[in-house]
């Protein structure tokens, strides 16, 4: 390792130590009045309990350092919260970002270790910085990509479940069941995220929560636009006195039409994608086999 690389490594270590000391020193100040009162009234106030838990997490330790580091990064929290609810992941967006920062730090440490090995074998010292940055970026990208894939898979499952569930609810209502009884029957016999949310909503109704509030809460937890629209139409039909079965059948017809349009759009995109191997792989080989014998024949004839 050259003198410049060693100086940069020592400077980075010294800066990290100074930052840790400065971040820890911010917790030495006297506690504010809400911080002192919240633990004493946490049993009777949910807000005080949440405040005490957040204060305990932020007070000292690596979680406090990560929390303050994440607070300095301007990241959009609304979209991340929606994606977390869609994927069914428990926890807040702040906790998810703290986990991403912790794992990215570990990835950077692994990348730096690999870079140190490469520098010791004769590579330039810049490889240490590059590998550490690549380790951080790869781990952070993988966490967000996995969350996005999970949310997309859950949305796709809800798209497939929604027409079937609404159709069965409409059949049960036509057979004489009340809406609450029909939802309970379908939620009990069905499987999947939608049926699980309906089962939770029905459990809340048994505890005294109104049906419209429980359905709105289920739609908010799923964070699915089509499911939100269908449940909102169901709540509006109940409140206005419109025929529930007819409303559900109209929603099923609209969902089936939308699904047919999506299948046509997907088929058209796949048709265009099939042109790529045809143009860049099959067609050149075909032209080669058709033209090459003629070229060889002309060269041998003359």
Q: What is the pLDDT of residue 167?
A: 85
Indicate whether this model's pTM tops 0.75: no
Q: What is the pLDDT of residue 246?
A: 83
Q: What is the pLDDT of residue 250?
A: 83
State pLDDT tens for residues 229-273. Answer: 888 888 888 778 778 788 888 888 888 888 888 888 888 877 777
Q: What is the mean pLDDT of residues 162-183?
A: 84
- Residue 205 vs residue 297, higher pLDDT: 205
Q: What is the pLDDT of residue 2?
A: 62
Give the chain as a DSSP string: --HHHHHHHHHHHHHHHHHHHHHHHGGGSPPPHHHHHGGGSTTT-HHHHHHHHHHHHHSSHHHHHHHHHHHTS---SHHHHHHHHHHT--S-HHHHHHHHHHHHHHHHHHHHHHHHHHHHTT--THHHHHHHHHHHHHHHHHHHHHHHHHHHHHHHHHHHHHHHHHHHHHHHHHTT--HHHHHHHHHHH--SHHHHHHHHHHHHHHTT--HHHHHHHHHHHHT-HHHHHHHHHHHHHHHHT--HHHHHHHHHHHHHHHHHHHHHHHHHHHHHHHHHHIIIIIHHHHHHHHHHHHHHHHHHH-
**Least confident span in 133-137, 166-170, 236-240:** 236-240
- Residue 204 vs residue 44, higher pLDDT: 204
State pLDDT tens for residues 54-75. Answer: 766 655 555 555 665 665 555 5
Q: What is the mean pLDDT of residues 164-184?
A: 84
Domains and CATH numbers, the chain: 31-72 (no CATH), 155-257 (1.20.81)
């Amino acid at each position: 390792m050259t003198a410049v690389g060693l100086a940069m490594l020592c400077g980075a270590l010294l800066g990290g130590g100074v930052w840790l000391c400065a971040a820890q020193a911010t917790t030495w100040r006297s506690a504010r009045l809400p911080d002192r009162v919240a633990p004493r009234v946490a049993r009777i106030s949910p807000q005080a309990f949440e405040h005490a838990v957040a204060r305990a997490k932020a007070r000292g330790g690596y979680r406090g350092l990560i929390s303050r580091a994440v607070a300095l990064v301007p990241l959009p929290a609304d979209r991340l919260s929606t994606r977390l609810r869609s994927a069914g992941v428990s926890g807040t967006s702040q906790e998810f970002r703290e986990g991403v920062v912790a794992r990215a730090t570990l990835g950077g440490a692994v990348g730096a270790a690999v870079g140190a090995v490469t520098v010791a074998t004769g590579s330039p010292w810049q490889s240490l910085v590059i590998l550490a940055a690549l380790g951080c970026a790869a781990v952070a990208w993988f966490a967000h990509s996995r969350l996005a894939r999970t949310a997309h898979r859950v949305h796709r499952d809800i798209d497939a479940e929604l027409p079937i569930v609404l159709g069965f609810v409409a059949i049960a209502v036509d057979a004489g069941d009340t809406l609450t009884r029909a939802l309970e029957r379908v939620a009990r016999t069905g499987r999947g995220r939608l049926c699980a949310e309906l089962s939770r909503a029905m459990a809340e109704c048994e505890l005294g929560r109104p049906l419209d509030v429980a359905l709105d809460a289920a739609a908010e937890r799923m964070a699915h636009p089509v499911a939100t629209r269908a449940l909102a139409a169901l709540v509006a039909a109940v409140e206005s006195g419109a025929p529930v079965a007819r409303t559900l059948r109209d929603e099923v017809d609209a969902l089936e039409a939308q699904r047919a349009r999506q299948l046509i759009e997907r088929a058209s995109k796949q048709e265009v994608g099939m042109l790529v191997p045809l143009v860049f792989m099959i067609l050149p080989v075909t032209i080669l086999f058709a033209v090459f014998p003629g070229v060889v024949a002309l060269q041998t004839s003359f």
